[in-house]
Structure 1
Amino acid sequence: MISENQYFDGNVKSLGYETAEGKSTVGIINPGEYEFGTAQKEIMNVIEGELSALIPESAEWKIFPAGTCFEVSANSSFKVKTEVQTVYLCQYR
């Protein structure tokens, strides 16, 4: 089953799906700054574009270009910002 998600007045959109490893989403983030909450551990893979992220384990924003990823623990929140449309794969584990 494919699910559709839309956040922040349509500035973040994704398609969700499930595999044997768990749920994942593939999406696009428009330029801007956004804050997300987590219920599970999330592995955020940047496919195209670039994200700056402020994750709970860090006091400073870190830049993640295409081809890199970062993890966020369950039951926390993180911020991302981008100046260009950015494509991501988020894996919930």
Structure 2
Amino acid sequence: MTLKYLAVLDHPHAQQAYGYLHIPVDKYVYDEAAAAGVKRPTWPNAWSKLDREKYLNYQHQLRELVASTPYSCPLDWEADVWVTRGTSPTA
């Protein structure tokens, strides 16, 4: 999250890494990704409890999802999820 915040504040080093940063996972991301066909990780469901393999696999699936959208990188997709949360039929 710190790197995401630095990128939003236009920090040059964070901007260089922006396309590589992981999507911060929360309920809104889980819901929107699931609506697009990305299966939510099995137990444990909280991202902070996922083991490394499950976490990285989920991030990889999110990247594949984003690649099939008009967004140029994962955090741009995640930003739109946050801006539009509660307005889509899946929220």
More strand by share: 1
State TM-score, norm by structure 2: 0.28
More helix by share: 2
Q: Whose Rg is larger?
A: 2
State TM-score, norm by structure 1: 0.28
